[in-house]
Structure 1
Amino acid sequence: MTAQQPITPEQVYAPRRISEIVAELCTGNPEDRITLHELLELFEVRAFGFLILVFALPNGIPAPIAPGLSAILGAPLLLLSGQLVFGFNHPWFPKKWLQRSFRRADVARLLRPSIPWLQKIERWLKPRLERIAGWRARRLIGVIVLWNAFLLSLPIPFGNLIPAWAIILAALGQIERDGLLVLSSLAVSVLATGWVGLLIFGGIEIVSHLLGM
């Protein structure tokens, strides 16, 4: 008999749809609390992609969000993407973060609007071009998420939507091993960079004009 080879993240592919898992997070007693540790257990080997998706989704839906929320959600995105860049196999969080909990009602309020969008996107998702979407491509995906998380964290009005979608596409691409989505996230990243740059320089011009400079 030969020794059994260890299972790698590439070999594990959960059949559950992304929208089903997000819907599960939104379902139940509204007063229940969900910890980050519980999210890691729920997402299992796809934890990186799912956590990035969860933190990016509230910014990617064209609906009002609380002021400053982009920066709050951007912090874990920066941490997760940095770990991908450095080749971490599993997400790492400080112990205090792991025990931090959120009311299910608050989670549902942020994530439930994204479910119809996810269901539409899922129709087109499938494993393809896996060399740029699989586990070995996590550093590339980490760079994409890291840059857009930085853009997302900037306190710029109307500047969060496009970077958020670049992150969402990269996360979906990793979760479903869909390289076409990763390529799409690269294209959206270029668009996001140009858009945020336009907002910054446009804002500087407006302020300069108002001050008569």
Structure 2
Amino acid sequence: MSMNDVASNDEAASGPRRHNGPISRRLLAIARTVRSEEPSVGELFDRLESEGLGLTLLLLTLPALIPLPGPFGMVFGTFVALVALQILFGAERLWLPQTIRQRPVPQRLLRKVIRAGLDWAGYAERGLREDRLAWLTGRTARMLLALPLLLMAVTIILPIPMGNVMPALALIAASIGFMAADGLAVLVSMLIAMAAVVWTAVLLYTGAAAADYAAMLLARLAVHLRAMLESVGVDLGFAAGVSTVFAVAAGVAALAFWIQAVRHRRSRRTSLDAVPDARERSRAVARRNRGLLTAASLATAAAAIFLATRFMLTGWI
């Protein structure tokens, strides 16, 4: 089945109204113009031209919506920053390393992405209008707006609890505005970005106050713990040594469990090929991996507790 057939099927199935928007038209343009069985990544983004920058921002920002600090924000925030830098220096198309540009995109995957994108665009385009405040979506405007977008990416990278949401929303609004050539959506994204700066400052202030309070509580707990052990005749050095041994043992166990979980995740496709139903295969993978993840999390928590106990016994806290 060619991409032209995919475009025709999607148009017939979804109706013309949902495909009248600017994002839908660009997705259908990809389906019509890319005729190879396995188009390369570079070919797809060449078809998108400047809209590929907005699409990339959108795809990289969505995983960063997770409100907790961790690898998602750091990794995807870094990629968003790289795209924002390209926009800042006036890139009209997304630059990718040659090895990535030459990688083929499976036809089946491409059809699924286009269909899912058309369904999503049908909702997102209700409030969009092409060429509204068009001066905010041109090349010069994009270069100027890349600075606040870069600031939002850096904010996502920072390990601030609940600090990812508003910067990610600003980036999503900007990416939709760039893709749809709707300057009002871009303007809304800048307003969200300003609110995100204020919100981040509030989180940093309250986070510093909370950290000071937590440090005070830990210091009091350490004093009470040392006094309790001394009252029953336990040597603090010996207790600290025992805590260190248990911390190392729990850490080694946690590392082993995490390695097993990663290996199991990588080998899940080959080990479950005999299960024909996709849902059953997914459930089987979840059941097998749940025990490893639970054990790894518990061992990690135990290692952290024993390590904190060791610091309290030796007076580091």
The two structures have a TM-score, normalised by structure 2, of 0.49
Residues 113 and 100 from structure 1, CA distance in 2 versus in 1: closer, same or farther, beyond 3 angstroms?
Answer: same
Alignment partner of 1:76 is 2:76:
no
Residue 34 of structure 1, CA deviation: 9.7
Residues 70 and 36 from structure 1, CA distance in 2 versus in 1: closer, same or farther, beyond 3 angstroms?
Answer: farther
Please point out which of 90, 93, 100 is paired with 1:90: 93
Give the helix-richer structure, 1 or 2: 2
Specify the alignment match of 2:63 in structure 1: 58
CA contact (8 A) 1:56 1:164 kept: yes
Which segment drifts farther, 92-101 or 202-211?
92-101
Q: Distance in 2 between matches of 1:185 and 1:161?
A: 13
Q: Superposition pairs for residues 34-45 of structure 1, below 5 Å?
A: 36-37=41-42, 39-41=44-46, 43-45=48-50
Q: Distance in 2 between matches of 1:123 and 1:145?
A: 24
Tell me which amino acid in the other structure corresponds to 1:208: D
Alignment RMSD (CA, Å)? 4.0
Specify the alignment match of 2:125 in structure 1: 122
Q: Deviations over 1:10-42 (max 9, x none)?
A: xxxx977536878xxxxxxxxxx9975365245
Q: Distance in 1 between matches of 2:117 and 2:200?
A: 23
Residue 59 of structure 1, CA deviation: 2.8
Question: Matched residue of 1:208: which SS?
Answer: helix
Specify the alignment match of 2:200 in structure 1: 196
Structure 1 residue runs without a partner (length 5+) = 1-13, 23-32
Question: Matched residue of 1:91: which SS?
Answer: coil
Q: Distance in 2 between matches of 1:57 and 1:179?
A: 21
Question: How many positions carry a matched residue from both structures?
Answer: 190
CA contact (8 A) 1:135 1:174 kept: no
Q: Distance in 2 between matches of 1:66 and 1:113?
A: 28
Residues 34 and 192 from structure 1, CA distance in 2 versus in 1: closer, same or farther, beyond 3 angstroms?
Answer: farther
Q: Distance in 2 between matches of 1:99 and 1:166?
A: 31
Residues 152 and 36 from structure 1, CA distance in 2 versus in 1: closer, same or farther, beyond 3 angstroms?
Answer: farther
CA contact (8 A) 2:174 2:185 kept: yes
Which segment drifts farther, 128-137 or 116-125?
116-125
CA contact (8 A) 2:69 2:162 kept: no
Q: Superposition pairs for residues 38-187 of structure 1, below 5 Å?
A: 39-41=44-46, 43-60=48-65, 67-98=70-101, 118-126=121-129, 127-187=131-191
Alignment partner of 1:210 is 2:214:
yes
Residue 119 of structure 1, CA deviation: 3.5
Identity over aligned pairs, percent? 30
Q: Deviations over 1:104-158 (max 9, x none)?
A: 9x99xxxx99987653331111121111122332112312321111111112221
Q: Distance in 1 between matches of 2:163 and 2:26?
A: 28
Residue 88 of structure 1, CA deviation: 1.9
Question: Matched residue of 1:87: which SS?
Answer: coil
Question: Matched residue of 1:50: which SS?
Answer: helix
Q: Distance in 2 between matches of 1:206 and 1:34?
A: 52
The two structures have a TM-score, normalised by structure 1, of 0.70
Residues 91 and 117 from structure 1, CA distance in 2 versus in 1: closer, same or farther, beyond 3 angstroms?
Answer: closer
Q: Distance in 2 between matches of 1:193 and 1:38?
A: 37
Q: Distance in 1 between matches of 2:132 and 2:196?
A: 25
Residues 190 and 64 from structure 1, CA distance in 2 versus in 1: closer, same or farther, beyond 3 angstroms?
Answer: closer
CA contact (8 A) 1:59 1:160 kept: yes
Residues 124 and 47 from structure 1, CA distance in 2 versus in 1: closer, same or farther, beyond 3 angstroms?
Answer: same
* Greater C-alpha radius of gyration: 2
Residues 174 and 90 from structure 1, CA distance in 2 versus in 1: closer, same or farther, beyond 3 angstroms?
Answer: same
Residues 193 and 178 from structure 1, CA distance in 2 versus in 1: closer, same or farther, beyond 3 angstroms?
Answer: same
Structure 2 residue runs without a partner (length 5+) = 1-18, 28-37, 217-317
Q: Distance in 2 between matches of 1:80 and 1:39?
A: 17
RCO higher in structure (CA 8 A, sep ≥6):
1
